[in-house]
A and B are shown apart, each in its own frame.
Chain A
């Protein structure tokens, strides 16, 4: 039963992590905004319950790009009070110290990335516990799970689920909901606020799936 949930949901889960990673990775370009409108992404967001003022997106794409870029900067970059998108700012190290860059969880995140044969793109100028890297890591693992299901390789799929569960519990759940809550509270534009709400619900659902539906699937605590 639980395995069926994973098998059927792998592609959707993988893409959702990818979508969220993309939204929080960097500012959206005018072209991306156009595509978001033209390809129906915005409509689908609304269908899912996101309350987005369409009038905002009816403005010229360059204006929307500018407004979203200002919002992105204010929310995630600064200067001044902003919502830092790095795990070590939120999660205390083994001595209880918190709120500094390149903490223990950053080093651990680097190990996760490297252990599974990945490396940071040289074009991305941030550190390994950035929200987009953690979300993309999940996307990458679930992508492997999806491919394993496609070739009927249940063993590898289960192995992937173990990795997803461990990583989710070790990193994502410790700070991503908190981060998204702050976005929800601080965003002045609908887009980032409503996307954060969708992300928050998705992460909550992921916690249930990975921790409650894995009996007999993985041994990982």
Chain B
């Protein structure tokens, strides 16, 4: 080349030359310029231009609810129609990033098969014959049923079973209305997600939930979490994991299946289902026997000694773990040593670890692995979460209005004495418990955005019980979609979806700071759909309940205007405009347990000599317990420690030794519980596992055409070696049968699954929920119409198979978790 290569230094010379040319030669002169206009769109978020009309669209900051992560969003409205959703860059936890599910949220609003009107059945339950009724008629009927129970002195016979309900909506419905009406009979859905994980947290370190500080870590050991595709805090953790890995962090994934997370890992180590805990215990053994542990942390912040731990784990050798799990002993040793030396590292888990028999024990082993390395509450480690602390100025004064007659049917916590600590409910057994009747039966069951026939195991049992009027006399569905559950109810009330209503919100920060955000309506509810909080406003006066606010908007407004920080930033007006607030100067919160208590904190407290727990006794609670915990003494210093949550742990330290578990005759230390069913398997039997993909949630996104076009069928993943022994080829029709039934599906022969398993995602095979997912058009009375032009473009007819037909409702007796990963099946070519 005649010219010397341009160096970085020359760039500035070239820049100066160019600047001179642009001005002197007028190369940039307006009339000669090729492109016109400004580039405000580069101001990330809050601005969007219609490509057709060039009109600026209205930007409304709000919050997602496609999954429980609840990303901050900015929704764009053009001529009254929601046309686009992006991430809100003003909320650090999601950082302006939004997954495909979130972007497809507009399909929830304009789903042609969406519920738009209240309807009442006119045929037998489940006959599909409906009559459209007015909201006044619907309200009259619901209020009539509820009044009757109230008059009879049994408000608890009104049961409320919810799926998609959190934040101030939950507070509104349960904390205000249900409490004032007098029924504590509620049930949630956590046990079909990851309930055992939270029970383990409460047993081990107090408050449930954790944040994995990926962006500051050096190494991640992943036991059954598909964190890159699905998580209860998906976008915050996934993007920080990517950031951490870009900086050099290594990710090792132990999983039955080659998920996209496993594929993106430094290494995927396939394991036999239900055996991860053997690996975790063996790793603890390697770390303890190799003196690689954090002695100070174990001594100060666990309730066991180094010697106790060493002695306890010595039987869990890597060679034994290899025999159980299939993971090579050499690899287990190598990774255990690397993990202990990573400083910091973090061991993580999800359903792959906990949706098993004794899932609580498994998660306790994982926390112990983090604890022995001292990776608790440190940058790059396993951290107690930090979330919004909203102020509700109405709450205190309203308590006086709580109903005098107040009862609760324990339908949400499993069969009598079946579960040791069902603190996050046993949703899969709600219908069975109602049928059994030992905890009493509700007269009226209202379901809110939950779909029991589809989301629980043993679909047919759920359907049979729900259709039986002698078991559930009155069944009301309050839902956005004509779901499997709604279709067999007596009455359906059309719910506003998340883009049409209010919430004051918070969730675990990815940066360990307090982040506040709100949901505000982006568009008006379609048709006659109504937020449940509006319904509460309308029926509350019928029971003499005077809510202290006019409506949900007023509650959110008051919370914004009285919460420290949000108030000073501009309160409600600021939040309407920006959607989120956080203190830009707030430093990340680590080492929370090491916060020293002040004299004020310690006033009126006592110290339990045996445990060192600091507590504030009163008449009702004279001894240390979950209600009066204040802190923990360590070497004569009073610390905050790890506060109790729902379970009395008898320590403010990490309870590696669990007194509550001992009390219920479980091993108090983390051990290995082989899955009972897996010990009795015959030749040719396989273990059925389920999983999630990036574009769908468990059950509530399949009506979104953009998502279901991408993912609508779910062939069963089967290893080539296994397939060969069964004479199965890729694409063959196969029958998968368990003790409770069988399904016919297609085989996907792939090395991406362990030879002992057959894996089927649980998003497909809806038999209602609209045409995009089931092919079934709901009755026109509910609002279904053919106006969506894309209905003609639906090119797929294979809607997949739902595995829950053959998975029994099988509950972990420790924590109530639905054991999704333990079902033994037979597979044959059809």
B22 at the interface (CB under 8 A from A): yes
Chain B proximity mask over A112-134: 1 for CB below 8 Å, otherwise 0: 01111111110110100010110
Q: Which of A12, A50, A155, A197 contacts B18 (CB 8 A)?
A: A12
B28 at the interface (CB under 8 A from A): yes
Give the contacts of B14-41 with A (CB-CB under 8 A). Answer: 14-22, 24-28, 31-41
B3 at the interface (CB under 8 A from A): yes
For the complex, what is the distance from the CA of A22 to the CA of B2, rounded to whole Å?
A: 23
For the complex, what is the distance from the CA of A39 to the CA of B20, rounded to whole Å?
A: 7
- The residue in A25, A32, A119, A130 that gathers the most chain B C-beta atoms within 10 A of its C-beta is A32
Contacts known (A15-B22, A48-B13); A201 close to B6, Cβ less than 8 A: yes
Contacts known (A117-B41, A144-B39); A216 close to B34, Cβ less than 8 A: no
Q: Flag if A137 contacts B246 (CB, 8 Å).
A: no
Contacts known (A115-B51, A116-B42, A120-B35); A202 close to B247, Cβ less than 8 A: no
For the complex, what is the distance from the CA of A156 to the CA of B40, rounded to whole Å?
A: 10
Which residues of chain B come closer than 8 Å to A116, judged between CB atoms? Answer: 39, 41-42
B89 at the interface (CB under 8 A from A): yes
A185 at the interface (CB under 8 A from B): no
Q: Which of A13, A111, A133 contacts B35 (CB 8 A)?
A: A133
Contacts known (A51-B2, A121-B35, A123-B31); A19 close to B16, Cβ less than 8 A: no
For the complex, what is the distance from the CA of A119 to the CA of B22, rounded to whole Å?
A: 21
Task: State the Cβ distance, A143 to closest chain B Cβ, in Å.
Answer: 8
A35 at the interface (CB under 8 A from B): yes
Which secondary structure characterizes the binding site on chain A? helix
A73 at the interface (CB under 8 A from B): no
Q: Flag if B239 contacts A137 (CB, 8 Å).
A: no
Task: State the Cβ distance, A219 to closest chain B Cβ, in Å.
Answer: 7
For the complex, what is the distance from the CA of A133 to the CA of B18, rounded to whole Å?
A: 17
Task: State the Cβ distance, A56 to closest chain B Cβ, in Å.
Answer: 16
A141 at the interface (CB under 8 A from B): yes
For the complex, what is the distance from the CA of A205 to the CA of B13, rounded to whole Å?
A: 14
Q: Flag if A119 contacts B43 (CB, 8 Å).
A: no
Chain B proximity mask over A84-106: 1 for CB below 8 Å, otherwise 0: 00000000000000000000000
A61 at the interface (CB under 8 A from B): no
Q: Flag if B3 contacts A16 (CB, 8 Å).
A: no
Q: Flag if A13 contacts B247 (CB, 8 Å).
A: no
For the complex, what is the distance from the CA of A11 to the CA of B247, rounded to whole Å?
A: 28
Contacts known (A35-B25, A140-B35, A216-B243); A12 close to B42, Cβ less than 8 A: no
Contacts known (A51-B3, A144-B42); A19 close to B35, Cβ less than 8 A: no
Which residues of chain B come closer than 8 Å to A155, judged between CB atoms? Answer: 44, 89
Task: State the Cβ distance, B401 to closest chain A Cβ, in Å.
Answer: 46
For the complex, what is the distance from the CA of A201 to the CA of B2, rounded to whole Å?
A: 12
Q: Flag if A36 contacts B43 (CB, 8 Å).
A: no
- The residue in A23, A130, A141, A205 that gathers the most chain B C-beta atoms within 10 A of its C-beta is A205
Q: Which of B8, B18, B36, B38 contacts A5 (CB 8 A)?
A: B8
A150 at the interface (CB under 8 A from B): no
Contacts known (A19-B22, A35-B24); A49 close to B4, Cβ less than 8 A: yes
Q: Flag if B20 contacts A156 (CB, 8 Å).
A: no
A74 at the interface (CB under 8 A from B): no
B634 at the interface (CB under 8 A from A): no
B602 at the interface (CB under 8 A from A): no
B586 at the interface (CB under 8 A from A): no
Task: State the Cβ distance, A171 to closest chain B Cβ, in Å.
Answer: 14
Beta-carbon nearest neighbor of B5 in chain A: A201
Q: Flag if B6 contacts A19 (CB, 8 Å).
A: no
Beta-carbon nearest neighbor of A193 in chain B: B2
A194 at the interface (CB under 8 A from B): yes
Contacts known (A47-B13, A48-B14, A197-B3); A41 close to B25, Cβ less than 8 A: yes
Which residues of chain B come closer than 8 Å to A26, judged between CB atoms? Answer: 32
B609 at the interface (CB under 8 A from A): no
Which residues of chain A come closer than 8 Å to B21, judged between CB atoms? Answer: 19, 22, 36, 39, 41
B12 at the interface (CB under 8 A from A): yes
Which residues of chain B come closer than 8 Å to A215, judged between CB atoms? Answer: 246-247
A189 at the interface (CB under 8 A from B): no
Q: Flag if B28 contacts A22 (CB, 8 Å).
A: yes
Task: State the Cβ distance, B64 to closest chain A Cβ, in Å.
Answer: 19
Which residues of chain A come closer than 8 Å to B79, judged between CB atoms? Answer: none
Beta-carbon nearest neighbor of A50 in chain B: B3
Beta-carbon nearest neighbor of B19 in chain A: A15
Q: Flag if B17 contacts A48 (CB, 8 Å).
A: yes
Task: State the Cβ distance, B106 to closest chain A Cβ, in Å.
Answer: 18
Task: State the Cβ distance, B419 to closest chain A Cβ, in Å.
Answer: 43
Contacts known (A16-B14, A118-B36, A156-B43); A219 close to B6, Cβ less than 8 A: no
Q: How large is the interface on A (under 10, 10 to 19, 20 to 34, 35 or more residues)?
A: 35 or more
B1 at the interface (CB under 8 A from A): yes
Give the contacts of A1-44 with B (CB-CB under 8 A). Answer: 5, 9, 11-16, 18-23, 25-26, 28, 31-32, 35-36, 38-41, 44
Which residues of chain B come closer than 8 Å to A5, judged between CB atoms? Answer: 8
Q: Flag if A40 contacts B32 (CB, 8 Å).
A: no
Q: Flag if A40 contacts B3 (CB, 8 Å).
A: no
Q: Flag if B51 contacts A198 (CB, 8 Å).
A: no
A176 at the interface (CB under 8 A from B): no
Task: State the Cβ distance, B87 to closest chain A Cβ, in Å.
Answer: 12
Q: Flag if B13 contacts A22 (CB, 8 Å).
A: no
Chain A proximity mask over B253-281: 1 for CB below 8 Å, otherwise 0: 00000000000000000000000000000
Q: Flag if A130 contacts B34 (CB, 8 Å).
A: yes
Q: Which of B28, B42, B51 contacts A18 (CB 8 A)?
A: B28
Contacts known (A12-B12, A205-B11); A136 close to B33, Cβ less than 8 A: yes
For the complex, what is the distance from the CA of A13 to the CA of B13, rounded to whole Å?
A: 10
Q: Which of B3, B34, B37, B89 contacts A48 (CB 8 A)?
A: B3
Task: State the Cβ distance, A131 to closest chain B Cβ, in Å.
Answer: 10
Task: State the Cβ distance, B720 to closest chain A Cβ, in Å.
Answer: 31
B242 at the interface (CB under 8 A from A): yes
Q: Flag if A197 contacts B1 (CB, 8 Å).
A: yes
Contacts known (A197-B2, A197-B3, A198-B6); A41 close to B20, Cβ less than 8 A: yes
B49 at the interface (CB under 8 A from A): yes
Contacts known (A15-B15, A32-B27, A137-B35); A115 close to B41, Cβ less than 8 A: yes
Which residues of chain B come closer than 8 Å to A201, judged between CB atoms? Answer: 3, 5-6
Q: Which of B19, B24, B38 contacts A117 (CB 8 A)?
A: B38
For the complex, what is the distance from the CA of A92 to the CA of B25, rounded to whole Å?
A: 36
Task: State the Cβ distance, B248 to closest chain A Cβ, in Å.
Answer: 10
Which residues of chain B come closer than 8 Å to A38, judged between CB atoms? Answer: 24
Q: Which of A19, A126, A144, A216 contacts B246 (CB 8 A)?
A: A216
Beta-carbon nearest neighbor of A41 in chain B: B21
Contacts known (A13-B15, A44-B20); A114 close to B3, Cβ less than 8 A: no
Beta-carbon nearest neighbor of B33 in chain A: A121
For the complex, what is the distance from the CA of A160 to the CA of B40, rounded to whole Å?
A: 11
Task: State the Cβ distance, A7 to closest chain B Cβ, in Å.
Answer: 13
Task: State the Cβ distance, A123 to closest chain B Cβ, in Å.
Answer: 6
Q: Which of A12, A21, A216 contacts B247 (CB 8 A)?
A: A216
Which residues of chain B come closer than 8 Å to A41, judged between CB atoms? Answer: 17, 20-21, 24-25
Beta-carbon nearest neighbor of B90 in chain A: A155
A163 at the interface (CB under 8 A from B): yes
Task: State the Cβ distance, A10 to closest chain B Cβ, in Å.
Answer: 9
Task: State the Cβ distance, A35 to closest chain B Cβ, in Å.
Answer: 4
25 contacts between A and B (CB under 8 A): A12-B15, A13-B15, A15-B18, A16-B14, A22-B21, A32-B25, A36-B24, A39-B20, A41-B17, A41-B25, A48-B10, A115-B41, A115-B49, A116-B42, A117-B41, A118-B36, A119-B37, A121-B33, A121-B34, A121-B35, A130-B34, A163-B42, A197-B2, A197-B3, A205-B11
- The residues of A with any CB-CB pair to B shorter than 8 Å are 5, 9, 11-16, 18-23, 25-26, 28, 31-32, 35-36, 38-41, 44-45, 47-51, 111, 113-121, 123-124, 126, 130, 132-133, 136-137, 140-141, 143-144, 155-156, 159-160, 163, 194, 197-198, 201-202, 204-205, 215-216, 219
Apart from the given pairs A116-B42, A205-B6, 5 other A-B contacts in the complex at a CB distance below 8 Å: A13-B15, A116-B39, A126-B34, A159-B42, A201-B5
Pairs of residues from A and B, 3 with the lowest C-beta to C-beta distance, nearest first: A12-B15, A22-B27, A39-B24
